[in-house]
Structure 1
Amino acid sequence: MTKEIKILAEASGRHVHLCQADLKALFGPEAELEPKRLLGDGGGGYISQYKVTVEGADGKSCLCTVLGPLRKESQVEFSFTEARAIGLVPPLGDSGVLGGTAPVRLTGPAGTVALERGLFVARRHAHVCVKDAQELGIQDGDPIRVRVAGPRAMVFDEVVAHVPPPFVPMTLSAFHVDYDEWNAAALFLEPYVYMSKP
């Protein structure tokens, strides 16, 4: 029988990660990100106090939360539904791997930034703590399988495992999807899933 580990599922809404230069261009030279709420289990991510306007096609746009900490390069993560609502159809991608991602325009109170790349829909992935990774025999970047039980039972294949270095104080694994897949699987009814090797 295939070994499974029960983990929490979390939904990710549209958000932006900014580099230092783009933060200053959008919010002014004195702007600094400040945590409003921490995210996850020890990874250091947080919701900041800022929102930025993401411009789509035909004058459509939406506000988008800025997450911290700062990145080396700015990126914008949407679901397909969120992107299509403002006339955009971004490619699938992975956080921090921006080759082949789409251009996008951001506007803040201090100015506008036109990114040559950075807009994408994140592939489904799981942040897997070192203990669980060792138990399943997986490494960072490996594909894993996630099974959803309940009234909309389904299996997510091609889930990317993100395993941190041993010094990162993460103790709980979590499966991350956007709201399109969260709602399709009715994970709001039972936000726990079963992770295994393919």
Structure 2
Amino acid sequence: MEKKEVKVLVHASGRHVHLSEADLKTLFGPEAEIRPKRVLGADGKGDFLSDLKVEVVGPEGKSFSCSVLGPARRETQVEVSYTEGRMIGAVPPLGDSGKLEGTMPVCLRGPYGSVKLTRGMFVARRHVHLTPDDAERIGVKNNDPCDLRIEGARPTTFHGVIAKVPPREVGMEVSDVHLDYDEWNACALFQQDGGWLSRGE
């Protein structure tokens, strides 16, 4: 039987930091706030890019600048690609946003101070924010694995794309996949912005 597929948007997610309120104040000062610069996501809801940047420092002292996303989180986390991790001498584990057990220690530096995290840096598992209607069309539920098929110059299929399906009352209207830039470049997605999603095996 032929697999059912839905067309989804595909976004590249660059390295970024989600800060707790306490770490925000330590890094940027007691009056600091995370203000929106650009809303992220296909539905225009949820996370936003701010104009704040921090230095992410690896175990060898190498560092790079990293954008801060808002709003503030309960606990600070740092999401990078494997290539970006190696730039600062780190090999972070795969992880999921908000689930920080087993993630990597890291140091953050801001204009006001620094923070040494005992955990929080990881490579985000590829995932799709799937509307309830699209989830029903391909027969998946929240946290089910999906397959993402990319056409074009470098055809690629990504397996193990985790479905994030919100309740209907959230009102999500557009399904979109989040890949990091290692994955994005591997299939030449700079030439297009979409793919086909189906239920994984």
CA distance in 2, matches of 1:147, 1:161: 15
Q: CA deviation at 1:59?
A: 2.5
Hey, what does 1:141 align to over in structure 2? Answer: 143
1:34 equivalenced with 2:35 (yes/no):
yes
Match of 1:13, SS?
A: coil
Q: CA deviation at 1:42?
A: 3.6
CA distance in 1, matches of 2:60, 2:76: 23
AA matched with 1:6: K
Aligned length: 198
Note the aligned Cα RMSD (angstroms): 1.0
CA distance in 2, matches of 1:33, 1:47: 9
Q: CA deviation at 1:167?
A: 2.1
The equivalences for 1:47-86 within 5 A come to: 47-86=49-88
TM-score by length of 1: 0.97
TM-score by length of 2: 0.96
> Following TM superposition, where does structure 1 have runs of at least 4 consecutive aligned residues deviating by more than 6 angstroms?
none
Hey, what does 2:181 align to over in structure 1? Answer: 179
Query: Alpha-carbon deviations, 1:19-70, whole Å to 9, x = none?
Result: 1111111111111110000001143110012101100133210100000111
Q: Tell me, yes or no, if the aligned pair for 1:53 and 1:64 is still in contact at 8 Å.
A: yes
Q: Tell me, yes or no, if the aligned pair for 2:129 and 2:164 is still in contact at 8 Å.
A: yes
Q: CA deviation at 1:161?
A: 0.6
Q: CA deviation at 1:197?
A: 0.4
CA distance in 1, matches of 2:99, 2:60: 28
CA distance in 1, matches of 2:112, 2:10: 37
CA distance in 2, matches of 1:167, 1:110: 41
CA distance in 2, matches of 1:169, 1:138: 18
Hey, what does 1:10 align to over in structure 2? Answer: 11
Q: Tell me, yes or no, if the aligned pair for 2:9 and 2:195 is still in contact at 8 Å.
A: yes
Hey, what does 1:20 align to over in structure 2? Answer: 21
Consecutive unaligned residues in structure 2, runs of 5 or more: none
CA distance in 1, matches of 2:124, 2:140: 21
Matched-pair identity in %? 57
Q: CA deviation at 1:135?
A: 1.7
Find 2:159's aligned residue among 139, 146, 157: 157
Q: Tell me, yes or no, if the aligned pair for 2:39 and 2:45 is still in contact at 8 Å.
A: no
Q: CA deviation at 1:136?
A: 1.7
CA distance in 1, matches of 2:139, 2:91: 36
Q: CA deviation at 1:165?
A: 2.1
Match of 2:174, SS?
A: coil
